[in-house]
Amino acid sequence: MRVSRLFIITQLLVLTITAPIIFCRSSENLTSRDIDKMMSSLSNWGRWGKEDQLGTINLITPEKRQKAAALVKEGISVSMAHNVIKVEQDGSAPFEHTMLPESFDPDSLGASDQYSVKYHGFTTTHVDALCHFFYKGKVYNNFSRDEIITKSGAKKLSVDTLKDGIFTRAVLMDMPRLWGMDYLPADKAIYPEDLEAWEKKAGFQVSSGDAILIRTGRWARFKAEGSWDIMKGSAGLHASCLPWLKERDVAIVGSDLALDVMPSRVKGVLLPVHMVLIVGMGTPILDVLDLEAVSEASNSRKRWEFLLTLAPLAVAGGTGSPLNPIATF
């Protein structure tokens, strides 16, 4: 049967117009223009109203919390915070802990101390609030950076919007176990098909309002090899995962390092995953988790979902907070 050239061209045009944009492993050559497109196509600006400051935390509904609570079968809890590091490491400032003089006064009724921490970086477990990243003069929900960022702190989107805590289902994406490794190579990029391969292997599916926690094995690598230049090589999510995260409607994303693969493989953009998640989608990020203990706990149970609870310091105007996230089985 002869098929006209016009018919073939017409069908190709239909396929071109109707096919969804899918970023996958072949998207190694993403550029800043692709990130611009994602900032628009994946945006949650206005989704929960023009004054919204919670972003995807809105997806953690009362019903979602009730279902998350039902995941607790044994009452066993596991911390996902790394012990604070009191020396300079991985290019990050040390956690400063000072015992105050009254602790050593013979007449004192007790000991007292003082903490000082610059938590954004690669050594302190923390949450990034939605005021932490900017994009072309804007922060989440189309607020102006210049209007909300002041010398006294952020007027909107600060970490105290999360002071009621986060209580939801978390799923551990244990990527080294997917590939039979103790930890990922330093520059290993994780793609959407890798996340789906782990879902299939672990027997669950990410759903709306979930927290997904990406284990790269960073702390296992540190134990085996010591420090390395994280900015020059850090396993993490490739920017092609962003449409996948939006499709699944995740509430919060975390990892045991910086979340983004570094170098990013996106020409001209250092941290595209951070940028689109925080500014475009309004999704808080948990950085520098320690997922080694929860990996062992999950593997021993062959169960990769659990209740996540966390609460930041209630700092009005703060761009984030150190925290101690808890997994409960």
- Mean pLDDT, the chain, as a whole number? 92
Number of domains in the chain: 2
Q: What is the mean pLDDT of residues 151-162?
A: 98
- What is the domain-level CATH number for residue 172? 3.50.30
Q: How confident is the model at residue 27 (pLDDT cuts 50, 70, 90)?
A: low
φ/ψ bin of 78: left (φ > 0), alpha (ψ from -120 to 50), beta (otherwise): beta
Q: How confident is the model at residue 187 (pLDDT cuts 50, 70, 90)?
A: confident
Same domain, 111 and 146: no
Report the C-alpha gap between 143 and 50 in whole angstroms. 9
Structural domain of 215: 27-82+125-328
Which tokens sit at 229? 């230049």
Residue 275 belongs to some domain of the structure: yes
Which tokens sit at 48? 């929960």
Residue 207 belongs to some domain of the structure: yes
Contact 133, 139 (CB under 8 A): yes
pLDDT in the model for residue 3: 43
Distances (CA, A) of 307 to 62, 71, 105, 295, 324: 14, 6, 44, 14, 14
Percent of the chain with pLDDT over 90: 90
Report the C-alpha gap between 305 and 205 in whole angstroms. 10
Q: What is the mean pLDDT of residues 244-266?
A: 97
pLDDT in the model for residue 197: 98
Residue partners of 3: CB distance under 8 A and separation at least 6: none
Contact 161, 53 (CB under 8 A): yes
Peptide bond into 263 cis (omega under 30): yes
Same domain, 99 and 205: no
Same domain, 118 and 131: no
Q: What is the mean pLDDT of residues 42-58?
A: 98
Q: How confident is the model at residue 12 (pLDDT cuts 50, 70, 90)?
A: very low
The 10s digit of each residue's pLDDT in 96-125 is 999 999 999 999 999 999 999 999 999 999
pLDDT in the model for residue 25: 52
Same domain, 111 and 208: no
Distances (CA, A) of 109 to 30, 61, 89, 105, 182: 61, 45, 36, 9, 48
Residue 284 belongs to some domain of the structure: yes
Same domain, 129 and 117: no
Residue 104 belongs to some domain of the structure: yes
